[in-house]
């Protein structure tokens, strides 16, 4: 082997080590990386926040059905809205209050409808991120909702849907997802905060350690809000050895709520 | 659902090209690898319609159509596809014609490939009895027209609960998209038909406890050579096997909670994936049976969200219609 050949070999090996090292190891913060060197978001995640009850600061309050006793009550919770204010336009604020009053029958969660974005990420159910070398799939336990994040050329939302059209990109180590084409039928929580078909959501997922993702979503909708507003919360990794999604097909538990007046049987 | 312009193009190609499908031999094809070394099955693999679940009895053990029979099937699909492009103004109960996907005609005589007559094995005595006596003698739901006192009188298809594991894959006339995604340790099968995503672990973790029954079951996968083998248990008995989870002609298709489903995914070329599923439920059928579906890769196929339950006007209409009818009849 000539000396030039040997030098080349050494430089190739050195380069190889630098390239391979991140793939095999982890960041000092314990953020695992994929073979391609991106932060690895694969895993089962779930929030501990009270956001799904109410995005804003709230004292404990009675649930929509006193028959459920304390099981149906809403625990106090620290809000996840930056500044704690949702800047509704007056008409939208009135609609939110009406939603709250009718939440037992009108919350799409009660009807087992798909949760939409961002709500799907902070419901009290786990979801799994499936990060392939090309695309990223979010699989939600609730209602077996899912959404594919297009990481290649952005796709135009050709039709509105519950889970939206999702285009992703990396901003450094943060996965940014631009969500358009939302159908506006989804709510944001059980307190009646809501969306329209003009709602545009930009999400940011940053894995900040082996067991945590910092989640942020900016919600913009000139028909509902004075200005864009942002929520942020932490997602925790479900670290049990046997952690797995178990599909929650909730339709059968919503049918009596939806069709009850036309059902003839001993339960009705 | 496929965009119309894509569908046109695919149809044009389909009718211009001969159909070798199953004739290819797996041995001369090297399956690509993922960066972590697993066989790479990723992509969108819609199924093709037009193959019946059971083989017509007069075809005996013949697995493929003759030239004449195949020409007839091509002709039929071509006519149906042409009809899809010229929708009538009549209001019907079927999906709008722009939903329909006819796919590429294939030569198989039946989805069932085992037993060798391509037909379902006999029901066990227990299963026959159960089908008559279930629900206090009302029988199992499944008839296309029947009682409508409560949601449980309708099958899971009407109720938009799920199409079931096999019903999500068996091709029908719309929403045939199947997407495979892989990460280290997992394969995910995503079905367009009612937004299913089955996350299949590839490690040897134990099965869910036997008290946990689910509509889509609990899957565990492993590689046998380049074939992905997935075994699924923990099924409820509320699912019917058959297209759309609505049974098959002559039977509502229900299985017991003891069902063990074994699927085999084999990529035989860049564009063809052989899918086989063996249904083993000794409480329902006297012997196991196997279906095979030829899945064809289609990079232009765009899967759409199927919000079936969210827009299920049919349940509301069926139940309210039944009450209105009773009222009109003075009951």
DSSP string, B260-301: EEEEEEEE-SSSEEEEEEEEE-TTTBSS-EEEEEEEE--TT-
Kindly tell me if the per-residue pLDDT of B98 is higher than 90.
no
Task: Please judge whether A162 and B196 are an interchain contact, meaning their C-beta atoms are less than 8 angstroms apart.
Answer: no
Question: What are A's interface residues with B at a Cβ cutoff of 8 A?
Answer: 35-36, 42, 111-114, 128, 130-135, 137, 139, 144-146, 148, 159, 161-163, 185, 241-242, 244-247, 249, 251-252, 255-256, 258-259, 262-265, 268
Helix (H) or strand (E) segment spanning residue B166 = helix B164-167
Residues of A in contact with B181 (CB under 8 A): 130, 132, 135, 137
* Substitution target from B32, B35, B151 for chain A, most A beta carbons within 10 A: B151
Per DSSP bridges, beta strands A146-150 and A165-171 are parallel
- CA A231/CA A83 separation, integer angstroms: 9
Q: What is the mean pLDDT of residues B296-319?
A: 94
Whether A236 shows a pLDDT value over 60: the answer reads: yes
| Closest chain B residue to the Cα of A186, Cα to Cα | B310
Among B151, B307, B322, select the one facing A161 at the smallest CB separation: B307
Q: Residue B305: which of A134, A163, A246 has the nearest Cβ?
A: A163
Chain B residues near residue A256 by CB distance under 8 angstroms: 151
B25 pLDDT exceeds 60?
A: no
Q: Is B258 helix (H, G, I), strand (E, B) or coil?
A: coil
Q: Chain A contact for B188, CB < 8 A? A: yes
DSSP letters for B51-115: --SS--GGGTT--B--HHHHHHHHHHHHHHHHHHHS--S---SS--GGG--------BS-SEEES
Band (B145; pLDDT cuts 50, 70, 90): low
At residue A81, the 3 state secondary structure works out as: strand
Amino acid B219: pLDDT:
98
| DSSP-derived secondary structure for B109-150 | S-SEEESTTSSPPPBPHHHHHHHHHHHHHT--S--SS---SS
Test A42 with B183 for CB contact under 8 angstroms.
yes
Give contacts of A145 with chain B, Cβ < 8 Å: 195
pLDDT score at A130:
98
The answer to whether B161 faces chain A, any CB pair under 8 Å, is yes
Based on its alpha-carbon atoms, the radius of gyration of chain B, rounded to whole angstroms, reads 20
State whether residue B126 sits within 8 Å of chain A by CB: no
Per-residue model confidence as pLDDT tens digits over B159-172: 999 999 999 999 98
- Residue B103's pLDDT band (boundaries 50, 70, 90)? confident
Residue from A216, A173, A150 nearest A32 by CA:
A173
User: How much is the pLDDT for B20?
Assistant: 43
Q: How far is A264 from chain B (nearest CA, A)?
A: 5
Contacts of A159 in chain B (CB under 8 A): 304
B175, B221, B305, best to mutate vs chain A, most A CBs in 10 Å = B305
Q: Which of A98-107, A248-257, B244-253, B280-289 has the lowest mean pLDDT?
A: B244-253
Burial letters B69-102, b for 16+ CB under 10 A, else e: ebeebbeebeeebeebeeeeeeeeeeeebeebbb
Residues of A in contact with B154 (CB under 8 A): none
Q: Prior bond to B115 cis, omega within 30?
A: yes
> What is the torsion angle, in degrees rounded to the nearest 10, for the CA atoms of residue A219, residue A223, residue A225 and residue A231?
-10
Q: pLDDT at residue B268 above 70?
A: yes
For residue B320, the chain A residues in CB contact (below 8 A) are 259, 262
Contacts of A263 (CB under 8 A, 6+ apart): A255, A256, B149, B150, B151, B319
Interface of B with A in 211-230 (CB under 8 A): 212, 214-216, 218
Out of A48-62, A227-241, B24-38, which region has the weakest mean confidence (pLDDT)?
B24-38
Residue B24: is its pLDDT beyond 50? no
pLDDT at A191: 98
A252·B36 Cβ contact <8 A? no
Note the maximum CA span of chain B. 71
Residue B17, pLDDT > 90, answer no
Pick from A56, A77, A74: which is nearest to A66 by CA? Answer: A74
CA A13, A18, A21: angle at the middle one, nearest 5?
110
Give the closest-approach CA distance of A173 to chain B in angstroms: 19
Question: Up-side HSE of residue B97: CA atoms within 13 Å toward CB?
Answer: 13
Q: Is A16 exposed, middle or buried (0-12, 13-18, 19+ CB in 10 A)?
A: exposed
- The tokens of B99 are what? 């939903």
Q: What is the pLDDT of residue A8?
A: 55
Q: Is B131 on the interface with A (CB under 8 A)?
A: no
For an interface test with A, give the residue of B167, B183, B184 to mutate (most A CBs within 10 A): B183
Q: Left (φ > 0), alpha (ψ -120 to 50) or beta: where does A114 sit?
A: beta
Angstrom distance (rounded) from CA B267 to CA B29 = 9
Chain A contacts of B40, Cβ < 8 Å? none
Cα separation, B156 vs B245, whole angstroms: 7
Mean predicted lDDT score pLDDT of chain A: 91
Q: Each residue of B38-73: pLDDT tens digit? A: 999 999 999 887 899 999 999 999 999 999 999 998
Q: What is the mean pLDDT of residues A34-38?
A: 91
- Residue B6's pLDDT is 43
Residues of chain B neighbouring A262 (CB-CB closer than 8 A): 316, 319-320, 322-323
> Nearest-CA distance from A57 to chain B in Å?
30
Q: Which residue of B has its CA nearest to A157?
A: B304
Interval A6-21 mean pLDDT: 49
B314 CB near a chain A CB, below 8 Å? no
Q: Phi-psi region for residue B151, left (φ > 0), alpha (ψ -120 to 50) or beta?
A: alpha
Residue in chain B nearest A131 by alpha carbon: B183
* CB contact at 8 A, B251 and B56: no
- B274: confidence class by pLDDT, cuts 50, 70, 90: very high
At residue B7, does pLDDT exceed 50? no
Q: In angstroms, what CA-CA distances link B217 with A249, B209, B231, B290?
A: 12, 12, 10, 18
Q: Bridge-partner residues for B114, per DSSP? A: B290
Q: What is the pLDDT of residues A208-224, one digit of tens each?
A: 999 999 999 999 999 99
Residues 6+ apart with CB under 8 A from B288: B114, B121, B278, B279, B280, B281
Give residue A7's pLDDT: 52
B-chain residues near A247 (CB < 8 A): 214-216
Chain B residues closer than 8 Å to A241 by CB: 205
Residue in A closest to B164 by C-alpha: A249
Minimal CA–CA distance to A145: which of B184, B248, B190? Answer: B190
A36, A256, A262 ranked by CB distance to B323: nearest: A262
Query: A95 to chain B, minimum CA–CA distance in Å?
Result: 21
Residue B161's nearest CA partner among A188, A127, A249, A92 is A249
The alpha-carbon gap from A110 to the nearest alpha carbon of chain B, in Å, equals: 12
Q: Give me chain B's average pLDDT, please.
A: 87
Provide the pLDDT for residue A162: 98
By CB neighbour count within 10 A (0-12 exposed, 13-18 middle, 19+ buried), where does A173 fall? middle
What percentage of chain B has pLDDT greater than the value 90? 64
Q: What number of C-beta contacts closer than 8 Å exist between A and B? A: 112
Query: Could you report the predicted ipTM of this complex, rounded to two decimals?
Result: 0.89
Question: What would you report as the CA-atom Rg of chain A, rounded to the nearest whole angstrom?
Answer: 22
More confident residue, B250 or A44: A44
Residue A70 reports pLDDT greater than 70: yes
Handedness of CA B163, B166, B168, B172 (dihedral sign): negative
pLDDT of A3 higher than 60: no
pLDDT value of residue B16 = 39
Contact list in A for residue B34 (CB cut-off 8 A) is 133
A251 vs B181, B199, B309: nearest CB: B309
Q: What are phi and psi of A122, to 5 degrees?
A: -130, 25
């Amino acid at each position: 082997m000539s000396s030039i050949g040997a030098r080349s070999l050494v430089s190739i090996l050195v380069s190889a080590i630098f390239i391979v090292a991140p793939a095999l190891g982890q960041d000092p913060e314990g953020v695992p990386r994929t073979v391609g060197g991106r932060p690895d978001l694969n895993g089962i995640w779930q929030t501990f926040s009270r956001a799904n009850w109410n995005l804003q600061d709230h004292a404990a309050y009675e649930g929509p059905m006193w028959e459920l006793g304390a099981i149906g009550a809403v625990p106090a919770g620290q809000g996840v809205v930056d500044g704690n204010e949702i800047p509704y336009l007056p008409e939208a604020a009135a609609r939110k209050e009406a939603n709250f009053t009718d939440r037992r029958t009108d919350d799409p969660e009660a009807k087992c409808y798909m949760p939409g974005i961002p709500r799907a990420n902070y419901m009290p159910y786990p979801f799994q991120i499936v990060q392939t070398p090309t695309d990223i799939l979010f699989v939600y336990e609730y209602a077996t909702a899912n959404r594919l994040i297009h990481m290649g050329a952005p796709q135009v939302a050709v039709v509105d849907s519950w889970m939206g059209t999702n285009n992703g990109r990396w901003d450094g180590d943060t996965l940014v997802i631009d969500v358009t084409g939302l159908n506006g039928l989804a709510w944001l929580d059980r307190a009646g905060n809501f969306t329209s078909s003009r709602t545009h959501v930009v999400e940011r997922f940053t894995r900040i350690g082996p067991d945590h993702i910092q989640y942020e979503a900016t919600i913009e909708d000139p028909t509902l809000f004075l200005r864009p507003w942002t929520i942020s919360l932490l997602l925790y990794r479900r670290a049990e050895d046997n952690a797995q999604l178990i599909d929650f097909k909730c339709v059968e538990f919503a049918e009596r709520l939806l069709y009850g007046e036309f059902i003839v049987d001993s339960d009705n | 659902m496929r965009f119309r312009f894509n569908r046109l193009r695919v149809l044009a190609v389909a009718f211009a090209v001969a159909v070798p499908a199953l004739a290819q031999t797996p041995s001369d094809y090297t399956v690509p690898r993922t960066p972590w070394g697993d066989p790479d099955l990723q992509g969108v693999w819609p199924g093709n319609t037009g193959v019946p679940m059971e083989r017509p009895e007069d075809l005996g053990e013949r697995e493929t159509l003759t030239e004449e029979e195949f020409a007839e099937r091509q002709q039929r699909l071509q006519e149906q596809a042409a009809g899809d492009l010229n929708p009538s103004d009549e209001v019907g109960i079927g999906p709008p014609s722009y939903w329909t996907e006819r796919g590429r005609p294939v030569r198989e005589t039946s989805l069932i490939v085992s037993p060798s007559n391509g037909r379902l094995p006999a029901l066990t005595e227990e299963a026959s009895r159960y089908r008559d006596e279930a629900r206090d003698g009302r029988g199992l739901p499944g008839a296309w027209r029947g009682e409508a006192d409560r949601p449980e009188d309708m099958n899971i298809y009407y109720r938009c609960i799920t199409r079931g594991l096999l019903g999500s894959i068996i091709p029908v006339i719309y929403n045939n998209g199947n997407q495979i995604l892989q990460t280290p340790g997992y394969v995910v099968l995503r079905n367009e038909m009612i937004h299913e995503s089955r996350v299949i672990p590839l490690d040897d973790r134990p099965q869910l406890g036997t008290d946990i029954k689910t509509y889509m079951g609990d899957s565990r996968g492993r590689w046998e050579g380049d074939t992905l083998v997935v075994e699924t248990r923990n099924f409820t008995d509320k699912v019917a096997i058959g297209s759309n989870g609505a049974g098959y002609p002559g039977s509502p298709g229900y299985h017991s909670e003891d069902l063990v489903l074994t699927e085999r995914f084999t990529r035989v070329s860049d564009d063809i994936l052989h899918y086989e599923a063996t249904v083993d439920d000794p409480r329902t059928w006297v012997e196991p049976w196997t279906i095979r579906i030829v899945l064809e890769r289609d990079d232009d196929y765009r899967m759409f969200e199927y919000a079936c339950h969210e827009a299920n006007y049919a349940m509301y209409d069926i139940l309210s219609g039944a009450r209105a009818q009773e009222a009109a009849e003075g009951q």
